[in-house]
Amino acid sequence: MGSQRSAGRPSSGASLSMRTNNKLKRQALYVEQKKENDKTRHEERHRRRREEAKDPELRRQRLERNQTNTIEKKRVWDDVDDDKLGAVVDVSALKRRRLEEEEAKAAREADGVVDDEDNEDNDSMLGSDDEGKSDDDEDEDDEERMEKIRAQRAQRNPSLAPSTASTNLDLTPDSLAIEFKQLFGDVPLEFPKVLVTTSLNATIHKEAQEIAAIFPNSTYIRRTAHRYGHKYSVREIAKFAKNRGYTVLFVIGEDQKKPCQLTVVHLNGEDVAPGPTLTYTIRGYQPSKSLLGHGNPTNHYPELLLNGFKTPLGLLAAKSMYTLFPANPELSGRQVVTLHNQRDYIFFRRHRYIFREARKTEKNVTTADGSEMKGLEGIRAGLQEIGPRMTLKLRRVDKGIGKAGSEGEDALKWQWKAGMEKERTKFNL
C-alpha cells in the first residue's frame, strides 16, 4: 500500500518491493516508472514554455520566484544612523536614506511657508511685516526653494554604485574622511612607492618577491636576524622608508614556510605621523607557477577592481588598497587586479584579458537587468590568470605603526573578535 504523499503521481521506488518479490520484475518496473516520470516532466516543461512564449510576464515571475536564497541575500545590518568605523551599515543605503529625509524635510518646510503666507493673506485685519513684499519677491523665493529641492534630487543619483558589486569610494562618510585625512585626501598619489620586507629570519623570499612584483614601484629588502646584525624593528624600518620617499610599508609574516600575514603601514607625507596600519591574514596562497595555464606579468600599471566593500570599515580597506596602485593604469598592458570581498574574505586575483569574437554557442554580453549591451554584440572577453592567488581577511586596524607604535585611547581603531562570526548573516566589510 503506497503512501499518501504519492497520491496522484506514480509510486516511488520504495513501494516497488510491495508490488512484486521478483527482482527482475522490480527492475523492469523501475525503468518503466522512470520513463513515465521523465515524460511527465518533459511535457510540463514544454507546456510551460508555450505559455511563457505567449505571455513573457509568466517567465519573469517564475525567475523571480526561483532565485536562490543565499547568505548574502539574508545579510543583516545594524539599525543605527551611524557611519563611524566599525558600524555594520550599508553606506550607500544610509546616504540614500539621509537624502530622502532631507528632501522630505525641505518639502515640508516649503509647504509650511506657503501655508503661512496664505494665512497672512487671508487675515487682512492683522498688520503683517510682509505686506510690503511684492508678488515678484515671493515668486523668486519659491523659485529658490524649488532650485534647492532640484539640487538635492540631482544628488540622489539612482546608480550610486556603477554595479551591484563594485565599490564607490565617493560614498566615504565624512567621519571616516576626517579620521583618516591622509588616506582619504582629495588628490591621490600618482606614483606610490612600496617597500616590501618579511618577518625576522623568514625563508619565503621567492613568495615575498612575487607579492612585491604585483605593486608598481615596489622594492623588496630581506630582513635578517643574524647574531652579528642589527634586528631592525618595524618602526625603525618605517622611519627608514619614509625618509627615502616610500609611501607604504609591507611586512609579510611566515608560518610553515608559507605567507600567513600581511601588514600594510601607510607612511603618509612629511610632518605627518605614519598610519593607519591594517593587518590581514593570508590563506590559500598559490604562487603563479602552481596555476594551470598561467601568464607572465609585464611592467604595465594594472587596472584595479574593488568589489563588495559596503561598510565604513570596508571602504577603509578598499581605499587602503586603492592607494597602492598608480591612479592612471596603462590599458595597453590589459592587466587587471581584482579584490573581491565576500563574507569578509577578500579574494585577490590578477588576470590579463583579451577581446575576441564570440563563438556561435556563446551569448552576447548582458547588463545587470539581463538585456543585451549595445555596441558589444558578437564580442567576448577572455581571461588568463597571472597570479599569485590568495585570500585575505582583515584582523585589526591601528592608528599608528602596528600595535606597539600606536598611542592614545584611540590607538586601536578596530579589531576582529571571534564573537563577530556568531551571527552568520552579519559581516563587517
pLDDT for position 339: 95
Length of the chain: 429
**Angle of CA points 219, 182, 428, to nearest 5°:** 90
SS3 state of residue 168: coil
pLDDT for position 137: 59
Helix (H) or strand (E) holding 121: helix 91-122
- CA dist 1 and 19 (Å) reads 9
* Among the listed residues 284, 318, 275, 299, the one whose alpha carbon sits nearest the alpha carbon of residue 413: 275
pTM, full prediction = 0.75
The answer for 170, left when phi > 0, alpha when psi is -120 to 50, beta otherwise, is alpha
Compute the 3-state secondary structure of the chain and give helix, strand, coil in percent, each to the nearest 5.
35, 20, 45
pLDDT for position 387: 85
Supply 73's cell numbers. 541575500
Supply 227's cell numbers. 647574531
Q: In terms of C-beta distances under 8 Å and separation of at least 24 residues, what long-range contacts does 214-220 make, across chains too?
A: 214/337, 214/350, 214/388, 215/324, 215/325, 216/191, 216/192, 216/299, 216/301, 216/302, 216/325, 216/326, 217/191, 217/192, 217/193, 217/326, 218/193, 218/194, 218/250, 219/193, 219/194, 219/195, 219/246, 220/196
183 touches 169 (CB < 8 A): no
Q: How far is CA 265 from the centre of its chain?
A: 22
* Among the listed residues 265, 299, 196, 202, the one whose alpha carbon sits nearest the alpha carbon of residue 404: 265
Under DSSP, the state recorded for 64 is: H
DSSP for 203-268 reads: --HHHHHHHHTTSTTEEE------TTS----HHHHHHHHHHTT--EEEEEEEETTEEEEEEEEE--
Q: pLDDT tens-digit profile of 324-366?
A: 999 889 999 999 999 999 999 999 999 999 888 888 888 887 7
323 touches 215 (CB < 8 A): no
pLDDT for position 17: 63
Amino acid at 263: T
Low pLDDT (below 50) residues in the chain: 1-8, 13, 114-120, 122-133, 150, 152-162
- CA dist 225 and 201 (Å) reads 6
- CA dist 174 and 171 (Å) reads 9
DSSP for 24-49 reads: HHHHHHHHHHHHHHHHHHHHHHHHHH
Q: Which residues of 357-366 are buried (b: 16+ CB within 10 A; e: fewer)?
A: eeeeeeeebe
pLDDT for position 165: 72
